[in-house]
Homo-oligomer: A and B are copies of this chain.
Amino acid sequence: MSLRDNLSSIVASVDGAMAAMIMAYDGIPIDEVVQPDADMDLQLLSVEYTTILKEIKRAVEVLKAGEMEEVSISTTRTRIVVRVLNSDLFAALIMKHDGNYGKGRYLLRLKGSTMAEELS
């Protein structure tokens, strides 16, 4: 299954999913799948969340808390789950606030390792 197929399958399987993407820490998307009716600025979102992830990565190193694995950010409108794939890349799933957060987390973890292998 290609990278794009994996991302599509996550978006299709998770209720409320709006987009799934693979990103590099420099803010450049490697690949992405967006629901046609998703109302969001994906580029701005990528830039903002990449900045946050770099800040978290730095803090985790300062705290000697091991390696960063997953970050979730919920707001009154959206839920975002980010899964670290390797030292360069991460996968992100953006859901509506009432999306299936548990299934989203699970699928991102499951398919994250497959996608990381494909990219290594």
- Chain A residues packing against B (C-beta within 8 Å): 40-41, 44-45, 48-49, 51-52, 55-56, 59-60, 62-63, 65-78, 97
A70: chain B residues within 8 A (beta carbon): 72-74
Instruction: Check B55–A51 contact: CB distance below 8 A.
Output: yes
- Beyond A45-B63, A52-B55, A59-B48, whether A73 also contacts B76 by CB under 8 A is no
Q: How many copies are assembled?
A: 2
Looking at the complex, which one of B55, B66, B76, B78 makes contact with A75 (CB distance below 8 Å)? Answer: B66
Q: Which of B45, B56, B77 contacts A66 (CB 8 A)?
A: B77
Which residue of the partner chain B has the closest CB to A78? B65
A55-B51, A56-B52 known; A44 vs B69 contact (CB < 8 Å): no
